[in-house]
Amino acid sequence: MIPTIAQDQVDRIVHNHHHNPFEVLGPHLVLQQDGETTWAIRAYLPSASAAWAIFPEERLEVPMVSVHHPHFFECIITRHEIANYQLRIQEGEHERVLYDPYAFRSPLVTDFDIHLFCEGNHHRIYEKLGAHLTEIEGVSGVYFAVWAPNARNVSVLGDFNYWDGRKHQMRKMDGGVWDLFIPGVKAGDPYKFEIKNWEGHIYEKSDPYGFQQEVRPKTASIVANLDHYQWSDNDWMDKRRHTAPLEQPVSVYEVHLGSWLHENFAFPGTHYDGTPAESVSVAELKPGTRFLTYKELADRLIPYVKEMGFTHVELLPVAEHPFDGSWGYQVIGYYAVTSRYGTPQDFMYFVDQCHQNGIGVIVDWVPGHFPKDGHGLAGFDGTCLYEHADPRKGEHKEWGTLIFNYGRNEVRNFLVANALFWFDKYHIDGIRVDAVASMLYLDYCRKDGEWLPNQYGGRENIEAADFLRQTNHLLFSYYPGVLSIAEESTAWPMVSWPTYVGGLGFNLKWNMGWMHDILDYFSMDPWFRQFHQNNVTFSIWYAFSENFMLALSHDEIVHGKSNMLGKVPGDEWQKFANLRCLYAYMFTHPGKKTLFMSMEFGQWSEWNVWGDLEWHLLQYEPHQKLKQFVTDLNQLYRNEPCLYTQDCRQEGFEWIDCSDNNHSVVSFVRWDKDYKDFVVVVCNFTPQPHSHYRVGVPKLGFYREVLNSDSRKYGGSNMGNLGGKWAEEWWFHDRPYSIDLCLPPLGVLVLKLDHAATAAASAEGDF
């Protein structure tokens, strides 16, 4: 047989140098005359000694012959059309039959997809790039597509081709996208992309758009289908779309799933839920200890969060990451939920169960940097593709990570679509964007000469700011009612303002100033607090310039900072009293709330990502009572609209007295949205009780004590006001009415006007 292909074309395929193997491989029309059509079918089969083209419907088998190379096969056949043929391959003593991937010539990524992607506006690009189970011409398989514009060649690797990059060479399309449909590949199959640069160097990369990855230390992506899970949260999702989150209670329990609780963990005395456990001397990780799965966490974590009264659970990053010790903040698989705890469907089940139990799910999202691991995004196609080439813009030396090139449309599209992806496929309710300040400033943690200014000579990263605006604008357009929270620690203006007025578009920002001030204040000996009243009151000066969240996060109880009990002074009683005082002030201060796991029951040790929380402490009364106090705080917060409906409006807060530094006492009023209901909060930040402490109030009547952090049931001294006090017509604090209170030591009182008692007394003429 005379070959229909030139030697140089065959050599390009054999040496994996062809940018479009479809030009050589598969069926090709070679002659058409007298109504007859002659086709050449070509295949490069590196491990085959013989091959046949099979036409099952006609029970026809055509032998193929080697041309120009022992493993390059060709046959000639005359017929009107070529469709659904198969290849029978002889490999040593074994034979197998498969469909020829190069017979499926029509790409699933369209020119319009590529156009949108290249301009940064393909909001569902994850449905096109990556690995997608599909059926073409009645044949099932997986369509692979990857962006690698500077690669010389790209191949798909997997068990299905013995990880041989010669067998499934991809085609380069416009925009630098490579694609190939491989019949017979199924869900659960691991794969990578083999990328060869123009110098001949080969890189094996996991899929940037892959939906699942192997469990570390393995690094391959896994073919996964995210569309088979049957959700049961329609009511939750519908309610969310019609809810204004800033007018709702938001009390967040921040969790690292891998260290909240392990399976086979020994608790001396009691379990986390208070049930008895076997008696051992110390809490220890037994042999065989493992992470809880997403489904097990749904069974254990969700009831705990619900019992505690939190409205949301915030998960430290659950996107795939190679190193447990990074806490998830060095992400490799931005579209892959980590396999440490189970499958994508398992995580969907976790979120679904949260919703059915009235709990929202917030996920930490990390678009600010990514690690240098060889199988990840770094140098993806042999060039600095996702990152900047210049380390003065492209590297965080402090963290040993690389920075995304936000000015490149395709990179920005990768990140914007990723944010939308988690809401689309996993029904999450919010993202907390990590390290926003590191994105916004070109000189972040850099010395002079180590950074490049923007085009105007400034230090602001204009491209990063535009990226954040685009992300938030689209997020709230597609998913109204969700949360987008910025961890931003500088004075960048209008972080939580809408994009249409020039803001970054977040709807909440962590109040880092409040956090630092209040922790500094509570770490002081109470006697010195009289000289630092400003630490408590200053936050109100700017509390309504942004939509703030008050967060006591994981960052505050690691790296030698001590856990919360270790931060506050005094003996054990005073430590717990200080902590109750701090939490009560936090929950009554304007702003949404976040507490990191272990803070709710008073763990002594710093958070350890490798271990478990010190659940055994709950066998001791002070820790039990602190946990009960946080539970009651959440209940009070959720039951009193005046504590949350106007968190972001100055009209919802009113000082009664912020200047009594001699006693280290502050008092204020929180109003609801309709200005009909309110609570009075009085905080005594010293261990010295104050009897006959008069506080001005807005109205006359009976003020019921709805919270006393010094109550005996919380481990306090039980000083208070016998359940409440009547206001008197006694002008005080520039108000016509006031109440005479007993302020407990290191205590916070929350008082509410009891309308029923007031009305009854008025009707009887006693008032």
Q: What is the pLDDT of residue 282?
A: 34
**By the 8 A CB rule, do 588 and 242 touch?**
no
- Report CA Rg, the chain: 32
Burial of residue 764 (CB within 10 Å: 0-12, 13-18, 19+) is exposed
**By the 8 A CB rule, do 473 and 412 touch?**
no
φ, ψ (nearest 5 deg) of residue 149? -65, -25
Neighbour count for residue 724 (Cβ, 10 Å): 17
Residue with tokens 């029509």: 106
Q: Which helix (H) or strand (E) holds 99?
A: strand 94-99
| Residue environment code for 572-611, b if the CB has 16+ CB neighbours within 10 A, otherwise e | eebbbbbbbbbbbbbbbbbbbbbbbbbbbbbbeebbeeeb
Secondary structure of 673-707 in HEC code, one letter for each residue: CCCCCEEEEEEECCCCCEEEEEEEECCCCEEEEEE
Nearest to 374 by CA among 246, 205, 516: 205
Interatomic CA distance for residues 420 and 227, integer angstroms = 16
State whether residue 632 is helix, strand or coil.
helix
The contacts of residue 674 (CB under 8 Å, 6+ apart) are: none
Q: What is the pLDDT of residue 80?
A: 72
Options 254, 387, 434, 614, the catalytic residue: 434
Say which amino acid occupies 586.
M
Interatomic CA distance for residues 386 and 365, integer angstroms = 17
Q: Which helix (H) or strand (E) holds 654?
A: strand 653-660
Interatomic CA distance for residues 488 and 493, integer angstroms = 11
The contacts of residue 76 (CB under 8 Å, 6+ apart) are: 1, 4, 30, 38, 39, 40
Options 314, 352, 429, 487, the catalytic residue: 487
487 is catalytic: yes
**Per-residue DSSP letters for 119-137?**
TT--TTGGGTSEEEEEEET
Calculate the CA 725 to chain-centre distance. Answer: 46
Query: Strand ranges (DSSP E) for 379-443?
Result: 395-396, 401-402, 430-433
Residue with tokens 């939750």: 236
Q: How far is CA 502 from CA 372, 454, 473, 496, 505, in A?
A: 34, 19, 11, 10, 8
Q: What is the pLDDT of residue 278?
A: 44
Pairing type for strands 592-596 and 251-255 reads parallel
Nearest to 567 by CA among 632, 518, 623, 627: 518
**Per-residue DSSP letters for 191-255?**
EEEEEE-TTS-EEEE--TT-S-BPPTT---EE----S------HHHHHHHHT--GGGS--EEEEE
- Residue 221's DSSP bridge partners are 191, 213
Q: What is the pLDDT of residue 286?
A: 57
Interatomic CA distance for residues 655 and 540, integer angstroms = 9
The conformation of residue 607, written as its DSSP 8-state character, comes to P
390 is catalytic: no
- Listed as ranges, residues in the chain with pLDDT below 70 are 1, 32-35, 264-288, 761-762, 764-767
| Residue environment code for 372-396, b if the CB has 16+ CB neighbours within 10 A, otherwise e | eeebbbbbbbbebbbbbeeeebbbb
